């Protein structure tokens, strides 16, 4: 008989030993042998809205989970979705992941992950439900703001340091949503059809990097179906690709309510089922053991219809996760709402802001000059940490754009007008517009702060946007403001591309994302010139919706017919589509201006001819030819000349962000493995390297290439 004290002493002894695979297996087998069948099954499903059971009689703690990828969500009640109303669950809100991706800065991604992991640990969370790496396929996806853009290479590079940072705190990252959750409309049932090549080249690489390089401890299954099976219990995705091909040793967690069948869940790779079942006859939630991996699973194991070894594999994985989290006696205690976290949030926000247009050096505005600035737009005052679905946050503080600009531009007279409203209210839209126009006529400069928000039907979980244009009649308002004051700059908030019929009429455009607690300060940093913008777009902005690849092929490609969706754009997603089909975007992937200028020169590869085991070592000189410090992201794209198979014109294969003082120059190196130029060959169900000539494109966006050179693979 073993009691809690003896078990605790046993864990202390074992934790003092080295963490070899043999020791880890011994620890897990020792615990597994003590568990009853019912206790093992109980560990495979939820016990509350955000926890799964431990084993109380053995002192094995529960696993506690939390949304979301850019901040720790407020406490939720035990058995419903209402907030608990705590007063000690305020947190630092970090920028959404589109902003993090726009930094093109893996070092910052690690700082971000470390900081959010510290906050999760302080809040006693064991699993952080993020980051998200689903590919940006359509600008209408309501959840794009939670992801890392349209390019699998960029997402792969940025997700790994995030995971490493989170998990240094003894908190598991849970990478989501595996896989092909590229829209919110009909997400619970839409059956996605996509080629094996597009699956492996576009939609899986970031997940693969998260597993193989990031060594993530958990993965969340997606809601949608893929080839007729729900992704949370999917033979190909979970058993074959994730657990066999990639040797994933972590835990697969369902999205909440994403499980549909006991046998499929048991046999097709799901380890922990989250969400509480709802009685179909009444709108009441049932006890958590009514989950598919609950009592019905127990009965199937008891009757030997399901082999107990299937259950034991799940429990081993859960115990392994616990060894890394709840049973790791040496993990740190965490930190929350400290100065360091605010600094990271502000740094990510500042580096992620993208200067899309800047005619006649409209930005920066001189903060010491006595200006009258008309600040127009609801987004200048609207909270963006709340709303958006499961990623909404209870921020310790949130600096609005109005607050940030007033704080920095103390010599200016800032007059605010809402201009439009996103709420159902008694405010007359015509009066709002007329007030905004009146304010604009009084000003030296107009700053329109608009874009999207986190209302349902905008950037929000569970529903997609209806159109590409700005909501709430903002396009009209911008046009009217420009008529009375042409000295206008537009500050866009949001996580998706929008159309800009007014682009030729305004002097400047900033894309500012959802920036979290430090939003207003970061925007003021850029507008004042205290910081030089260095963000780059992680996705393309199409001129019109049908210029986007998913929409070009009609409704069956997006959003589907209500049951099935076919990815007819295949591998040509984002800039791959625009470049290959010569459809000019409004703004290219990787685009982003600066207040200084850079020159990329002396671009050289280490040799002309390569073999499959070689690496391209590309060197270049980067010179800051302007008058102030700044940072540039040099991007390397590679395309196959005269390919025997359909290919994109070019694909991102390397990038580097470099900070340089005015007038300074540096020589940098980007290394690309030749094996990374392989394509997924469906005829052999594996990767294949095509020999021959390749073009190497070096520039600062997919649409701005400084030099092209050729190499040959023999």
User: Which residues are known to be catalytic?
Assistant: 255
HSE at residue 189, side-chain half, CA atoms within 13 A, is: 4
d(CA 354, CA 688): 37
281: Cβ contacts below 8 Å, ≥ 6 apart: none
d(CA 460, CA 455): 6
Q: Which residues pair with 579 in a beta bridge?
A: none
Q: Nearest-CA neighbor of 579 among 711, 421, 470, 705? A: 705
What is the 3-class SS of 320-346, one letter each residue? HHHHHCCCCCCCCCCCCCCHHHHHHHH
d(CA 188, CA 207): 21
How, if at all, do strands 51-52 and 63-66 pair? antiparallel
Q: Which residues pair with 230 in a beta bridge?
A: 225
185: Cβ contacts below 8 Å, ≥ 6 apart: 463, 464, 559
Q: What angle (nearest 5°) sits at the alpha carbon of residue 233, between those of residues 228 and 235?
A: 70
Task: Using the structure block, give the residue that is written with the tokens 């992950």.
Answer: 113
Q: Which two tokens stand for residue 547?
A: 């210029």
d(CA 381, CA 418): 8
How many Cβ atoms are within 10 Å of 113's Cβ, its own excluded? 31
d(CA 140, CA 185): 10
d(CA 56, CA 680): 48
| 669-to-602, 620, 688 alpha-carbon distances in Å | 12, 7, 26
d(CA 621, CA 667): 4
| DSSP 8-state code for residue 704 | E
Q: Which residues pair with 660 in a beta bridge?
A: 630
What is the three-class DSSP state of 232? helix
- Find out whether 65 and 125 touch, Cβ atoms under 8 Å: yes
Alpha helices (runs of H) in 388-473, residue ranges in sequence order: 401-408, 429-441
- Find out whether 136 and 149 touch, Cβ atoms under 8 Å: yes
| φ, ψ dihedrals at 673, nearest 5° | -75, 130
How, if at all, do strands 615-624 and 665-673 pair? antiparallel
d(CA 133, CA 422): 29
d(CA 705, CA 696): 10
How, if at all, do strands 251-253 and 651-660 pair? unpaired
């Amino acid at each position: 008989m073993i009691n809690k004290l003896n078990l605790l002493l046993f864990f202390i002894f074992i934790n003092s030993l080295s963490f070899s695979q043999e020791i880890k297996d011994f620890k897990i087998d020792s615990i597994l042998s003590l568990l009853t069948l019912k206790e093992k099954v109980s560990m495979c499903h939820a016990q509350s809205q955000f926890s799964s059971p431990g084993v109380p009689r053995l002192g094995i703690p529960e696993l506690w989970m939390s949304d979301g990828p850019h901040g720790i969500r407020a406490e939720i009640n035990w058995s419903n979705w209402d907030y608990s109303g705590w007063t000690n669950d305020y947190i630092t809100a970090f920028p959404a992941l589109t902003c993090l991706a726009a930094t093109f800065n893996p070092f910052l991604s690690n700082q971000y992950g470390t900081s959010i992991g510290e906050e999760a640990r302080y809040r006693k969370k064991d699993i952080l439900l993020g980051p998200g790496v689903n590919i940006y396929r359509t600008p209408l996806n309501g959840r794009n703001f939670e992801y890392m853009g349209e390019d699998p290479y960029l997402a792969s590079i940025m997700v790994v340091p995030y995971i490493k940072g989170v998990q240094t705190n003894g908190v598991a990252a849970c990478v989501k949503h595996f896989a092909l959750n590229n829209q919110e409309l009909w997400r619970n049932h839409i059956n996605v059809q996509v080629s094996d090549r597009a699956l492996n080249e576009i939609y899986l690489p970031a997940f693969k990097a998260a597993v193989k390089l990031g060594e993530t401890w958990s993965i969340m299954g997606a809601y949608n179906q893929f080839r007729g099976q729900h992704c949370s219990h999917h033979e190909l995705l979970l058993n074959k690709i994730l657990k066999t091909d990639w040797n994933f040793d972590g835990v697969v967690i369902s999205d909440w309510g994403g499980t549909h069948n006991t046998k499929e869940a048991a046999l097709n790779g799901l380890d922990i089922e989250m969400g509480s079942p709802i009685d179909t006859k009444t709108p009441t939630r049932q006890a958590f053991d009514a989950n598919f991996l609950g009592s019905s699973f127990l009965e199937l194991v008891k009757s030997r219809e399901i082999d107990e070894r299937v259950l034991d594999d799940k429990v081993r994985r859960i115990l392994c996760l616990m060894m890394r989290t709840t049973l790791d006696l040496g993990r740190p205690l965490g930190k929350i709402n400290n100065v360091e976290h605010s600094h990271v949030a502000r740094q990510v926000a500042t580096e992620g802001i993208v200067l899309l247009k800047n005619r006649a050096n409209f930005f920066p505005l001189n903060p010491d000059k006595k200006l009258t600035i008309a600040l127009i737009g609801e987004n200048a005052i609207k909270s963006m940490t709340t709303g958006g679905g499961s990623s909404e946050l209870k921020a310790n503080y949130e600096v609005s754009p109005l607050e940030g600009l007033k704080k920095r531009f103390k010599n200016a007279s800032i007059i605010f007008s809402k201009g439009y409203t996103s709420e159902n209210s008694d405010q007359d839209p015509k009066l709002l517009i007329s007030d905004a126009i009146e304010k604009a006529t009084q000003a030296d400069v107009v700053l329109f702060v608009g874009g999207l928000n986190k209302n349902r039907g905008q950037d929000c979980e569970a529903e997609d946007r209806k159109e590409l244009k700005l909501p709430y009649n903002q396009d009209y308002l911008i046009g009217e403001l420009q008529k009375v004051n042409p000295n206008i700059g537009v500050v866009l908030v949001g996580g998706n591309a929008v159309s800009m019929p007014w682009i030729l009429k305004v002097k400047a455009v900033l894309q500012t994302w959802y920036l979290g607690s430090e939003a207003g300060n970061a925007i003021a940093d850029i507008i004042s010139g205290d910081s030089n913008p260095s963000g780059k777009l992680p996705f393309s902005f199409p001129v019109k919706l049908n210029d986007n690849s998913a929409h070009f092929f009609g409704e069956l490609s997006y959003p589907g017919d209500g049951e099935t969706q076919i990815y007819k754009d295949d591998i040509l997603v984002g800039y791959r589509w625009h470049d290959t089909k010569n459809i000019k975007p409004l703004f290219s992937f990787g685009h982003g201006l600066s207040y200084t200028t850079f020159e990329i020169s002396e671009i050289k590869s280490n040799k002309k001819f390569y073999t499959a085991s070689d690496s391209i070592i590309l060197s270049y000189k980067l010179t800051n030819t302007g008058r102030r410090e700044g940072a540039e992201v040099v991007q390397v794209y590679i395309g196959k000349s005269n390919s025997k198979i359909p290919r994109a014109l070019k694909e991102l294969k390397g990038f580097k962000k470099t900070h340089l003082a005015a007038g300074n120059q540096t020589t940098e190196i980007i290394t690309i493995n030749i094996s990374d130029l392989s394509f997924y060959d469906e005829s052999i169900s594996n990767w294949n390297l095509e020999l021959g000539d390749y073009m190497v494109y070096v520039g600062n966006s997919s649409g701005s290439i400084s030099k092209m050179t050729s190499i040959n693979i023999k």
